[in-house]
Amino acid sequence: MMRSGTMRLLMGIMVAIFSLFSYFGSKEYNPVTGENQYISLTPRQEIALGMRAAPEMIRQYGGLYPGQKHQDYIDKVGNRLVRGSAAKDTQWQFGFHLLNDRKTVNAFALPGGQVFITAGLYSRFDTEGQLAAVLGHEITHVIARHSAQRIAKSELTQGLTGAVIVASGDQRAGQVAAVVGQLVNMKYGRDDELQSDQLGVRFMSEAGYDPRAMIKVMQILADSRSGAGPPEFFSTHPNPENRIGKIQQAIQQVFPKGVPEGLTP
């Protein structure tokens, strides 16, 4: 029994070392965010992954919105953001899609550059700047490689959870480790959202949009929530009300003397 337990412990340690080595050996520098990141995918793999997943995302949200007028408008705003900001100097292949889901209030980006917004969210906008705020936020997710980072972190979490199970021989211990890992990854998700807000303000401003439109978007998101929702700590997205202060700080950093006139509201 002692020998068996020792073997399990050694195997568990080996699995943990391999997982940690694989994760920390994948460090890359992102010139847009100015951060070192741990990425397990190449840019080409990210782009291919997003392209493969796009048709399924479109299907899940009821297909594309019928008619070309609104899609052309979204393309115009999205491409203006890319051409007018640091996004133009990146290798990502951006595409913008209006989904036909008129009940869901949501927007998201796939790895590599495919950006989606539901008709349910799009229909709530009053200005071009509000649309630009959402698209700029999602463009930032792509450039910051948040999806690829979360994939790498998930692989690390799975590897360390497997190491606990192997070393202990106790499935319940592995379940506890998995729950802890999920909470850690949720924290990363909230940090990603705040970073996308901050850089989204910068991208909007570079493209000539008034970044204060992002504050209005947060108010729209807050109004769209049904009920109180889960506590912020257990949510991958910070509460919209709590994001407004961070957005105001980001605007102050970009425009320390106040937002100038002439920006697209």
pLDDT in tens, 32-86: 888 888 887 889 988 998 999 999 999 999 999 998 999 999 999 999 999 999 9
What integer pLDDT is reported at residue 171 of this predicted model?
56
What integer pLDDT is reported at residue 13 of this predicted model?
64
Nearest-CA neighbor of 176 among 161, 191, 190?
Answer: 161
- How crowded is residue 66: how many other Cβ atoms within 10 Å of its Cβ? 10
Q: Residue 169: which pLDDT band, with cuts at 50, 70 and 90? A: low
Assigned domain for 67 exists: yes
Assigned domain for 191 exists: yes
Assigned domain for 259 exists: no
pTM (predicted TM-score)? 0.80
Assigned domain for 60 exists: yes
Assigned domain for 42 exists: yes
The residue among 210 and 174 whose pLDDT is bigger is: 210
Assigned domain for 207 exists: yes
Distance between CA atoms of residues 207 and 215, nearest Å: 17
Q: What total of structural domains would you count in the chain? A: 1
Handedness of CA 22, 188, 207, 77 (dihedral sign): positive
Assigned domain for 202 exists: yes
Domain extent for 146: 2-254
